[in-house]
Amino acid sequence: MMRVVVVGMGSIGVACARAVAADADMDLVGLVDVDPVKAGLTLTDLADQIDPSEDDQHIPLRISPWVEDAAASGANLAILTTSSHFDRMAPTLKAFLEHGVHVVSSCEEMAWPWYRHADLAREMDELAQAHRCCALGTGVNPGFVMDSLAVALSTAVRRVNSVRCVRRVEAGLRRLALQAKIGATLTTEQFQQRAAAGKMGHQGLAESVALVAAGLGHEVSPGAVTVALEPVVTSKPLTSALGMIEPGRVSGMRNTAHWADDHLSVDMDLAMAVGLEEPKDFIELGGPVAVKFKVICGLPGDSATVAILLNTGRVLPSLAPGLKTMLDLPPAGCRGRERNTI
């Protein structure tokens, strides 16, 4: 039985905690969020605020602001859904590793932490090895659909000259926080101002490039990935969770990334927008034998992220200790069993 702590009670963290509580092979033993407004609330209280469900059983476990207490709680797995930035979440990661607790995190930069934070990644790797536990950064993207899935597909060919990963997300079906994150309802000027301040854009695209390249035997130097960001502007009125989006206003964003050496090029193309037509995931491998792979309608980001965190978290105790990436894992598969509530 895995004893699990969930840290970060936003929408993804709450969904992870619900999934853990419903899993027959997991025991939810702790909830952590540093927001004082959430301290003392039960998971059921918070879940009802974020996403009410008639299927929830009452879960009396209360949210604590104390990471150290959760790390010392006897848990053997922590699910961290806090910051997108590896250096900002490192103190929380360190607290759990020092107690020998395996960690799986949705931190985007942690999918390939050596790209931006090589020294810190080395420190966390040594700490995990010293305390005989594992840490992994993953999710639907980065972590799966625009990186490790492409690497897995390359197993079926002998040579790859180029990789192109395309993701199109209909953000109108996603949570309010994501619609705000991609700039829905903003003017183009407001979008550009936020982009210039580093407050707009998807985190982890460069990490996906580095992970793909590593999976194909290449090394991406820090800062070598070219990343571009532009707004998606609607030509018709659209309804969003943030209100009406008038023609000429921003409905979302498009992020691209590129890297190449003498033998391989890697391109990422991610668009998330309200009203986006033909959502999909598409991977193209170029070489003597070309491969084109498409997920019709695309993977649903929120539920896929939760599933990947839980499914890979189960695998961590079977690995050699250290800081891991998706390239280090065998196929995790879906091994969850629903808890019998009768």
pLDDT digits (tens, 9 = 90+) for 302-342: 899 999 999 999 999 999 999 999 999 999 999 888 876 53
% of the chain at pLDDT higher than 70? 96
Neighbouring-strand partners of residue 250: 233
| Domain extent listing, the chain | 2-139+303-328, 148-298
How many angstroms separate the CA atoms of 36 and 205, rounded? 32
pLDDT digits (tens, 9 = 90+) for 154-168: 999 999 999 999 999
How many angstroms separate the CA atoms of 307 and 145, rounded? 13
Mean predicted confidence (pLDDT) in 178-205: 92
Residue with tokens 């695309």: 298
The per-residue pLDDT for 43 is 85
Higher-confidence residue: 197 or 265?
Answer: 265
In b/e form, how buried is each residue of 117-156, taking b as 16+ CB within 10 angstroms? beebbeebbebbeeeebbbbbbbbbbbbbbbbbbbbbbee
Neighbouring-strand partners of residue 78: 5, 103
How many angstroms separate the CA atoms of 123 and 134, rounded? 13
Quick one: tokens of 29?
Answer: 């033993």
Contact between 150 and 160 (Cβ < 8 Å): no
Quick one: tokens of 126?
Answer: 């040594």
Fold classification of 2-139+303-328 (topology level):
Rossmann fold (3.40.50)
The per-residue pLDDT for 57 is 59
Contact between 63 and 46 (Cβ < 8 Å): yes
Q: How high does pLDDT run on average in the chain?
A: 93
Q: How many residues does the chain have?
A: 342
Least confident of 7-16, 56-65, 135-144: 56-65
**Assigned CATH class of 148-298:** alpha beta
